[in-house]
Amino acid sequence: MQRSLEQRMAIKFCVKLEKSAEETIPILKKAFGVDCLSDRQIFRWHMAFENRGATTDPINLQFRRQCETCA
């Protein structure tokens, strides 16, 4: 969990630097190596941070998932 949190923060940082998802992938692969999220996951998080300012807080993420399943 901690490792993916670090990667989500790195993706959010790349979005703030106006890096594209394509530019973000090699940065994360270099930084996290074999523990890196998949390309698809990186694209999804990148899009989430770009479009709706998603959170990196694991507590908030868990609450959002619970609310989405209740709706």
Q: What does the pLDDT look like over 24-36, one tens digit per residue?
A: 999 999 999 999 9
Residue ranges making up the domain that contains 16? 2-70
**42-59 average pLDDT score:** 78
Helix intervals (H) in 17-57: 21-32, 39-52
Domain count, the chain: 1
CB atoms within 10 A of CB 70: 6
The model scores a pTM over 0.75: no
- Token representation of residue 18: 């106006």
User: What confidence tier does 18 reach under pLDDT thresholds 50, 70, 90?
Assistant: very high
Long-range contacts of range 53-62, CB-CB < 8 Å, 24 or more positions apart? Answer: 54/12, 56/5, 56/8, 56/9, 56/12, 58/1, 58/5
**Residue 70: what residue type?**
C
Which of the pair, 24 or 52, is modelled with greater confidence? 24
